[in-house]
Amino acid sequence: MKLIKLISRNSLRRPLRTFLTILGIALAVMAFGLIRTFIVAWYAGARAAAPDRIITRHAVSIVFELPLAYKDQLQKIDGVKKVTYASWFAGIYIDPKNFFPQFAMDHENFLDIYPEFIVPADQLEAFAKEKQAVIVGQGLADRFGWKLGEKVSLIGTIYPGTWDFIIRGIYTGETEDTDETLFMFRYDYFDEALRRDSPGRAGQVGWYVLQIDNPDRSAEIGAIIDKRFDNSLAETRTETEKEFQLSFIQLSGAIILGLRIISYLIIGVILMVLVNTMAMTARERVSENAFMRTLGFRGYHLVGLILGESLFIATIGGFLGMGFLMLASNLARMALSQFFPGFQTDTLTYALGLIVAVLVGLVAAAFPIQRALRIRIVDGLRVVD
């Protein structure tokens, strides 16, 4: 108990230095946690992928489309329960800055394969009755203030023209990782317009989504599908939904790598801040430590004092940093919800922030401890502060 009291008094002997060190550690822990949260959010789509869904797209790139006629052939493959499809739209709502995912989908069974999109039954019924109907996510509706029955117009980029829709459904996500920013409209309305204005582009889809009966057979079924369309005009590549999501994430691989490197550098900054503080403390207390040894204090007493002070500062900084991180994370989530639907700092990130602070406290105490134990008493007493 006396040792703990002495540790706390030693830590506060230079209050300004201690405060600035704690603040520096706290800010670094907050930055470390935020970066990790960004990385985790980047992988939210892959985490939300269902194991019983596989994606079939064009073998060259998702930019190229597949014939709608493939659906019947895919449905006949052993192990496939349901087949649906979608096409990327990329329209502009009022201003190009108002980006959100938009695609035409098979209204008959797309939502059956994606049960995580929860739509009230009456809204589903209204969506099924009207070709211009669209279902939007709750997050997207909140962003633009959309209500049921409201008319929304998009200016086509890949598919030119003005496209008019009516909001007939607003879905909510089953989990926090579910993307609530999607704009999903009926493929038959989309294809009908193409057959009228651009007949050569009609009857094509961007990708197929297949629900299979056994997730363990995903690779086998994927190989069968790709073999079926070998040497055709539109060869396919089939992969799990998770692999499909990760293929987009890999396009930003350099950014993610850069963020990881920065997070490691931040740990180094924390270490240098605390090492500098402890080194200054060690220099100031050389004679004091020597005097304590003449009074009968053992080496382990000095180790306890120095290590305790370092851990005290690091732990306080870690807890303060977690408080900063909670505040910053909530602010970032509100600002970035349309880009990172799964942006939320998890328990593991908070725990890692505290663990990093404690480990830094342990490492930072190593040099002062070594110096305090090695210096002879007589040499220590000669040092004048």
Residue 78, in any domain of the structure: yes
Residue 50, in any domain of the structure: no
Higher pLDDT, 202 or 14: 202
Do 169 and 219 sit in the same domain of this protein? Answer: yes
Say whether pLDDT at 169 is over 60: yes
Residue 52, in any domain of the structure: no
Angle, in degrees to the nearest 10, between helices 347-364 and 15-42 = 140
Do 10 and 94 sit in the same domain of this protein? Answer: no
Confidence grade of residue 13 (pLDDT, cut at 50, 70, 90): low
Say whether pLDDT at 258 is over 90: no
Confidence grade of residue 149 (pLDDT, cut at 50, 70, 90): very high
Last residue of some domain: 234, 265, 280?
234
Residue 188, in any domain of the structure: yes
Do 95 and 226 sit in the same domain of this protein? Answer: yes
Do 163 and 295 sit in the same domain of this protein? Answer: no
Residue 367, in any domain of the structure: yes
Say whether pLDDT at 136 is over 60: yes
Confidence grade of residue 75 (pLDDT, cut at 50, 70, 90): very high
**Amino acid letter, 291:** F
Three-state DSSP at 22 gives helix
Exposure letters 217-248 (e unless 16+ CB within 10 A, then b): bbeebbeebbebbeeeebebbbbbbbbbbeee
Last residue of some domain: 173, 207, 234?
234
Residue 140, in any domain of the structure: yes
Q: Out of 88-102, 262-276, 365-379, which region has the weakest mean confidence (pLDDT)?
A: 365-379
Do 212 and 272 sit in the same domain of this protein? Answer: no
pLDDT (mean) for 279-305: 62
Do 211 and 142 sit in the same domain of this protein? Answer: yes
Residue 205, in any domain of the structure: yes
Domain that holds residue 271: 2-44+253-382
Do 215 and 273 sit in the same domain of this protein? Answer: no
- At 20 the pLDDT is 83
Do 322 and 356 sit in the same domain of this protein? Answer: yes
Q: How many residues can be counted in the chain?
A: 385
Do 192 and 261 sit in the same domain of this protein? Answer: no
Last residue of some domain: 179, 205, 234?
234
Contact of 54 with 214, CB cutoff 8 Å: no
Residue 277, in any domain of the structure: yes
Do 91 and 33 sit in the same domain of this protein? Answer: no
Tell me the pLDDT tens digit for each residue of 208-229.
Answer: 999 999 999 999 999 999 999 9
Do 291 and 192 sit in the same domain of this protein? Answer: no
Do 35 and 114 sit in the same domain of this protein? Answer: no
Distance CA 4, CA 239 (A): 58
Task: Report the domain count for the chain.
Answer: 2
